[in-house]
Structure 1
Amino acid sequence: MNHIMRCDEDDKIKRLYEASMEGCVDTLKSLIQDDPLILSKISLSPYGETPLHVSALFGHLNFTKKLLSIKPQGPKLAMELDRLKRSPLHLASAEGHTGIVQALIQVNDSMCLATDQDGKTPLHYAAMRGRVEVIKLLIGSQRESIWKNLNEGGETVLHLCVQYNQLGALRVLVESVGYENNEFLNSKDQHGNTILHLAVMLKQIETIKYLLSLSGVKKGAKTTLNQSGFTAFDTLEHIPKDFKSLQIQNAFQDVGLQRGTQQCNHHQLQQVQPSSSSSSIKAKTSCWGKCNRLMRYKGDWIKDKTGALLIVATLIATLSYQTAVNPPGGVWQESRNNTVDCNFENNCTAGTSVLAHHFNMKHQSEYLWFLICNSMAFISSLIIILLLLSGFPVRYRPCMWLLNLAICSALTFTTITYVLGTDMVSPSKIDDVPTWWICVGLVGSWVGLIGIIIAFQTIRLLVWVVKKLFICMFKCCMCRAKRTPGNHNIDGTARV
């Protein structure tokens, strides 16, 4: 008899859980009418979750409200936890069931501060999934949940928004805490990373732009260091380089942020090195000095542009290689030896360039120059990659001049290759438009501009070399004059 009663009770509880999965309110009413204590017997069942957990997870609003309205068991179910110490409010918040969240908060709003075994509150789950409306409900009920850290390391709900790339949730939370709340906006996790550090590591460009628009985050970005001693901008140098890295770098530069170490050193130098004379002060305040300060690049040009240079050089090398193996006009698809153009003397072998054969002398000559320019563009791009990746001291002026020369050469030969290739595959006339002369004019202007740049860089290098040689010669003469007897004045100074 007892066994039969136990089976009947287990069957009712099973039906209750099935009804909670389906959201069937009629079945719930029937079971409660049959056994008013059935909700109190849930704790005796082997299930890890309560029916309220199940209905909150599946989003059955009417079923949830009916469960909560049953006194006194309903309100108690709102405080029950599953095997992972999650309440029904945790599950409803994660799934974004706004109506159920509101119903659970009305019954017991203290569960907004309840934490599961990982230290997450319902607000943490809502932030991870970007449930903006749920976040507003939870904050409106228990504002203290914003300040609940995820763990002892100090990871906040803002860190979770960045980790899971939930910019909308981040905006709502920042608006709630205040844009000037510098302490919370720059709080650190267990590794000392702020939300800006984290956004840079994850290369979330939109999030970075939003954070840099906040005065509190922007102020902290200049001085806040993680455990490795890096600011958020310094962190950019220790992640793989790609187009996103370049966009992030530009985002920092748009708001006037550079590497923290360089800013610190520059500030120290300004304090330590006073102006030596009134002439230097006048130079700094003159129009030329102001223009020079405005045009001067505030940063390390090589470090800041290495990623972009590598990408451009790799792209030019790839284009040159593809053009070499697949030239304009294509290649012979099969060998031909018995035609007018392809005979024993001019063997048209499959896989060789069509325009390279001597039966068309114009194309043969152009193809030769095309091949030379394409090869020069390929070699120049490889030189750029070699200089940047080999650890070569590019900061020194001679090496910088060589790098600039390689960059100008790669761009110029790529341009000439384009013009030659276009001319070889184009008809002699296109509606009587002198396309060749247009291309020649454009290329000539480009080559002239590049020539001016190379000449300017070469003159700068020669001036620097002459200046260094003059200083060395002057020092040698002074040392020799001091060592030679009879070359001193009465006061002991050397005669020049």
Structure 2
Amino acid sequence: MLVNRLKDTQLPKGRSEDAAYFLCLARDGNGRNPIHLVAMYGRLAVLQELLDAGFQAALEKTDEGGTILHLCVKYNQLEALKMLVDISKDAWFQNAKNEDGMTILHMAIHYRQNQTIKYLLDSSQVWVKQQDAKGRNALSLLRGQANINTEIESSLRLIGARPGGHDPEEYQVMLKERSNAMMVVLSLIATMAFQAVVSPPGGLWQDDLKEGPNPHRVGEPIMAQTHPTYYRCLIRASTVAFVSSLSTIVSHVSLPCFALTDTFVLFDGAGNCNRSIDLCYITSCAGTKTHER
């Protein structure tokens, strides 16, 4: 086998394993690595050898966005699919979506692979209520076909599939995705609030003036003298936005065990930050326009 032959070559210690590892990750013109091709063609012995060398290559997606499990279903390689599912034991991997938002269960129904569907429902960790890019779950896809397999429909109903429904696991996925997006928004708000204080609207005085109607020093905010009320509102709103965003980020990062509760705290904190940054924008615009007049 390829991996064993690489190990037998006279390379410095560690080099043969490295070569085997990188060869397993090499891609062809269609964005598929060797383990993808082996699974597609059902070469189970070679597939086992490559999996023994490491599972990382099997986790790689193709350039089209699908996983090795999608390729197994697409090319009707049930035995290869069983081998990969038995080894992975990972629900997220088994429920990954391709570029069309389809899981391996969606694809098995689409290609009318009844044996694959039965195996996935009986022996894997597929989530039957996940939806594809068009909002269809497994039962909806099945009902859209002619000559519906009543046994499979009964199995889906028994598991609890309903058109338009979601699995509890899918809610966790959705919450995680929204939580990650909210972290990006909070980081942006913190940056904007910090920048509003460091570089306030109207700029900073560039000279010293000890006498006159507006005595000032270099670096002092112009808005603080020309529009003190607006400037105080700007500082207060920026401080609230900055502290709220940072404290929410810290609580989210340091309390992973309270994932669901912390996610709602994250959304609430983001709402407070958003209101504060809105106030910053309004006061800065008001101060700038008044200064221009």
The reply to whether TM is greater than 0.5 is yes
Q: Please report how far the alpha carbon of residue 335 of structure 1 lies from its aligned counterpart in structure 2 after TM superposition.
A: 2.4
Partners of 1:151 and 1:381 in 2: CA distance: 49
Which of residues 70, 84, 102 in structure 2 aligns to 1:255?
Answer: 102
Q: Please report how far the alpha carbon of residue 173 of structure 1 lies from its aligned counterpart in structure 2 after TM superposition.
A: 6.5
SS in 2 for 1:209: coil
Partners of 1:266 and 1:213 in 2: CA distance: 15
8 Å Cα contact 2:179/2:266 also seen in 1: no
SS in 1 for 2:205: coil
Q: Aligned pairs, how many?
A: 231
Amino acid at match of 1:317: A
Q: Please report how far the alpha carbon of residue 186 of structure 1 lies from its aligned counterpart in structure 2 after TM superposition.
A: 6.0
Greater length-normalized contact order (CA 8 Å, ≥ 6 residues apart): 2
Partners of 1:389 and 1:420 in 2: CA distance: 32
Amino acid at match of 2:220: T
User: Residue 381 of structure 1 corresponds to which residue in structure 2?
Assistant: 245
8 Å Cα contact 1:211/1:217 also seen in 2: no
Which of residues 319, 326, 329 in structure 1 aligns to 2:199?
Answer: 326
8 Å Cα contact 2:202/2:222 also seen in 1: yes
Which of residues 24, 37, 51 in structure 2 aligns to 1:159?
Answer: 24
Task: State the TM-score, normalized to the length of structure 1.
Answer: 0.36
8 Å Cα contact 1:186/1:194 also seen in 2: no
User: Residue 394 of structure 1 corresponds to which residue in structure 2?
Assistant: 258
Going from structure 1 to structure 2, the CA distance change for 1:213 and 1:323 (only over 3 Å counts) comes to farther
Amino acid at match of 1:160: L
Query: Aligned Cα RMSD in Å?
Result: 5.1
Q: Please report how far the alpha carbon of residue 233 of structure 1 lies from its aligned counterpart in structure 2 after TM superposition.
A: 4.0
8 Å Cα contact 2:241/2:274 also seen in 1: yes
User: Residue 138 of structure 2 corresponds to which residue in structure 1?
Assistant: none
Q: Is 1:353 the equivalent of 2:226?
A: no
Q: Please report how far the alpha carbon of residue 159 of structure 1 lies from its aligned counterpart in structure 2 after TM superposition.
A: 1.4
Stretches of structure 2 lacking an aligned partner (at least 5 in a row): 10-14, 105-123, 129-156
Partners of 1:167 and 1:295 in 2: CA distance: 36
8 Å Cα contact 1:331/1:354 also seen in 2: yes
SS in 2 for 1:356: helix
User: Residue 85 of structure 2 corresponds to which residue in structure 1?
Assistant: 223
Q: Please report how far the alpha carbon of residue 356 of structure 1 lies from its aligned counterpart in structure 2 after TM superposition.
A: 1.0
SS in 2 for 1:375: helix
Partners of 1:352 and 1:294 in 2: CA distance: 56
Q: Is 1:407 the equivalent of 2:275?
A: no
Q: Deviations over 1:288-331 (max 9, x none)?
A: x755x259881414444444333332232222212211111111
Which of residues 163, 174, 195 in structure 1 aligns to 2:57?
Answer: 195
Q: Deviations over 1:40-78 (max 9, x none)?
A: xxxxxxxxxxxxxxxxxxxxxxxxxxxxxxxxxxxxxxx
Going from structure 1 to structure 2, the CA distance change for 1:290 and 1:369 (only over 3 Å counts) comes to farther
8 Å Cα contact 1:225/1:232 also seen in 2: no
Q: How does 1:329-340 map to 2 (within 5 A)?
A: 329-340=202-213
Partners of 2:199 and 2:211 in 1: CA distance: 25
Q: Please report how far the alpha carbon of residue 365 of structure 1 lies from its aligned counterpart in structure 2 after TM superposition.
A: 2.0
- The percentage of counterpart residues that share the same residue type is 17
Stretches of structure 1 lacking an aligned partner (at least 5 in a row): 1-112, 122-149, 201-205, 235-248, 258-262, 268-280, 343-347, 431-496
8 Å Cα contact 2:240/2:273 also seen in 1: yes
Partners of 1:186 and 1:371 in 2: CA distance: 62
Amino acid at match of 2:271: C
Going from structure 1 to structure 2, the CA distance change for 1:172 and 1:186 (only over 3 Å counts) comes to closer
Q: Deviations over 1:121-147 (max 9, x none)?
A: 9xxxxxxxxxxxxxxxxxxxxxxxxxx
SS in 2 for 1:355: helix
Going from structure 1 to structure 2, the CA distance change for 1:339 and 1:352 (only over 3 Å counts) comes to same
SS in 2 for 1:331: coil
Partners of 2:277 and 2:247 in 1: CA distance: 15
Partners of 2:53 and 2:5 in 1: CA distance: 21
8 Å Cα contact 2:127/2:169 also seen in 1: no
Q: Deviations over 1:75-103 (max 9, x none)?
A: xxxxxxxxxxxxxxxxxxxxxxxxxxxxx
Partners of 2:31 and 2:101 in 1: CA distance: 22
SS in 2 for 1:415: helix
Larger radius of gyration: 1
Going from structure 1 to structure 2, the CA distance change for 1:350 and 1:256 (only over 3 Å counts) comes to farther
Q: Is 1:209 the equivalent of 2:79?
A: no
Task: State the TM-score, normalized to the length of structure 2.
Answer: 0.56
Amino acid at match of 2:199: N
Q: Is 1:308 the equivalent of 2:185?
A: no
